[in-house]
Structure 1
Amino acid sequence: MTTQDSATATDRTLKAKHRAMWAQGDYPSLAAEVIPGLGAVLVEACGVHPGQRVLDVGAGSGNAAIPAALAGADVIASDLTPELFGAGRLAAEKQGADLTWQEADAEDLPFADAAFDTVLSCVGVMFAPHHQQASDELIRVCRPGGTIGLLSWTPQGFIGRMFAAMKPYAPPPPPGAQPPPLWGDVNHVRALLGDRDRVTDVHTERGTARVDHFATPEAFRDYFKERYGPTITVYKNIADDPDRVAALDRALVDLGRDGDLGTGPDGTILEWEYLLLTARRAG
């Protein structure tokens, strides 16, 4: 086997693992119950309107794709994990949204150059392991003058801290893979997008998603252990070590307690910070 063939086989194995990670648990219910309005925030920031052709990368079950379709755009919801599409189709039908669902790798999108007026991703493309490849693809498929919009969890925010808490218990990352929350770092994502020959009119702002779904920090931990693919994967990695499982249990509960605003009479109140970025493709 040549070096190129070996690299290709390794990449296929990595993508298969990513697809399996997100297929386990129940991410569609998490997205619908915990962060239901996040996609609409991104769609509004991108100015999506009727007649546009829109691509949602890492669409999952359509948190951003469905609001974009309801805004009148012609939308393709793409994701590496088509197992998530079933829930998305049901949600779209219930809301009266018409859109297309297509399996696609964010690092190798099966679309022509400059095919879309708006290319967006709501806490989706940030989980592609090779950040520069994914960023290059976002730019490639966006038409000159079109909009690129990204909403990503920040490293210092709640979800970024959750990934930091899980890291000591996680399987070693594959060579070249970068941590997802780096997409929420302004300097990192600006470097990915490049200079004015690639994008212009870059605008960034931080926001927070207010989460009041969990009665207690323990309920937050148990919910993610059951539904969230990355958390499930980490627990599987240490399943044969009860001491490490107990330590991670404590770490996640401590995170929930530390993040609790203490203002909810009926449960834990959390604020999850994200970075919202919009830009235009140059040319």
Structure 2
Amino acid sequence: MWALGDYPTLAAEIIPDLGRTLVEATGVKPGDRVLDIAAGAGNAAIAAALAGAKVVASDLTPELLEAGREDAARRGADLEWREADAEALPFADAEFDAVLSCVGIMFAPHHRPAADELLRVCRPGGAIGLLNWTPEGFIGRMFAVMRPYAPPPPPGAQPPPLWGDPEHVRSLLGDKVTDITIDRRTVRVDAFDGPEDFREYFKTRYGPTIAVYQHIADDPDKVVALDQALADLARDHDHGTSTLAMNWEYLLVTTHRRP
């Protein structure tokens, strides 16, 4: 799904600063061994490498890793890129000083094994940083709008925006972490001329949206209904004047693996 469209361009154009926000909040410092889980094209991984960390960017989608390699080379960032499943990471126990994920691990379908793997590869006392869209925020609501039109999820899969629910994250991390901090924040998105411009952009670049439209391609009535629903969603979140301006809410979680 994530090879559909052009997620690297979307991330660079729409949410370029979220990776750096996560790296700074987590306290990544030069020399740290850092893992970015479900890194995509490296929004957080490249920021961590530029901060002087020794970084591994892992993702299940080879096309995103290749885009990340090219972007890292252009920006002078040196890091390792590894194809890996967030639910079965190919790394040793306690291998990393810091483990991050920026709107990435939330899309692993089974939350418990993904969380267990995140905790396993972080050393005792190591830092953990997560940045995920909330259920109540714009992207969470967008997934709710698309759900009736989407193909059935894998067996046992949980909705991605649950990773943006504080109680869900606390339950996943449990007593294996200490001094957890949870903060709701927003990112200003003003790259679109209007609601329809937003919809068409996501229809051609965002893998989950493309997959939903492919699923209903043979039902013109559903396509029209989803077109309207997505435009209405953007319109409901518009705080701009002459152009569309939205505040997308995310949950920023920082904590440490319990020693």
TM-score normalized by the length of structure 2: 0.99
Distance 2:240 2:29 in 1: 39
Equivalent residue in structure 1 for 2:190, among 191, 207, 212 = 212
2:158 matched residue in structure 1: 178
Decide which of 69, 78, 93 is 2:73's aligned counterpart.
93
**CA-CA distance at 1:94 after TM superposition:** 1.6
Write the deviation string for residues 36-78 of structure 1: whole angstroms up to 9, x where unpaired.
0000000000101111000000000000000000000000000
1:83 corresponds to 2:63: yes
Residue aligning to 1:277: 253
2:213 equivalent to 1:242 = no
Map of 1:68 onto structure 2: 48
Q: How many residues get paired?
A: 259
1:156 counterpart residue number: 136
Map residues 254-265 of structure 1 onto 2, 5 A cutoff.
254-263=232-241, 265=242
The AA in structure 1 aligned to 2:85 is: D
1:122-141 maps to which residues of 2 (within 5 A)?
Answer: 122-141=102-121
1:154-197 CA distance string (max 9 Å, x none): 000000000000000001122210000000000001000012xx
% identical aligned pairs: 71
Shift, 1:210, TM fit? 0.5
AA at the equivalent of 1:101: W
For the residues of structure 1 that align with 2:154 and 2:57, how far apart are their CA atoms?
A: 27
Name which of structure 1's ranges 268-277 and 166-175 shifts more when overlaid on structure 2.
166-175
Residues of 1 paired with 2:80 and 2:155: CA distance?
34
Given residue 171 of structure 1, which amino acid in structure 2 is its aligned partner?
P
Q: List per-residue Cα deviations over 1:7-32 (Å, max 9, x = no partner).
A: xxxxxxxxxxxxxx001110000000
Structure 1: runs of 5 or more not aligned:
1-20
Task: Give the superposition deviation at 1:86.
Answer: 2.1
Q: 1:8 is matched with which residue?
A: none
1:228-259, CA deviations, whole angstroms, 9 ceiling, x for partnerless residues? 00000100110000000000000000001001
Letter in 1 for 2:32: Q
Amino acid at match of 1:271: N
1:169 to 140, 144, 149: 149
State the AA in 2 paired with 1:211: V
1:222 and 2:200 are equivalent in the alignment: yes
RMSD of the alignment, in Å? 0.7
1:18 corresponds to: none
Q: Find the partner of 1:41 among 8, 13, 21.
A: 21
The alpha carbon displacement at 1:262 in A equals 2.2
Q: Give the whole-Å Cα distance in 1 for the aligned partners of 2:159 and 2:219.
A: 25
Looking at structure 1, the residues matched to 38 and 155 of structure 2 have their Cα atoms a distance apart, in angstroms, of 22
Give the counterpart of 1:57 among 37, 52, 61. 37
Q: Which amino acid aligns with 2:9?
A: S
Query: Which runs of at least 4 in structure 1 moved beyond 4 Å after TM superposition?
Result: none
Instruction: Provide the C-alpha distance between the structure 2 equivalents of 1:223 and 1:183, rounded to a whole number of angstroms.
Output: 25
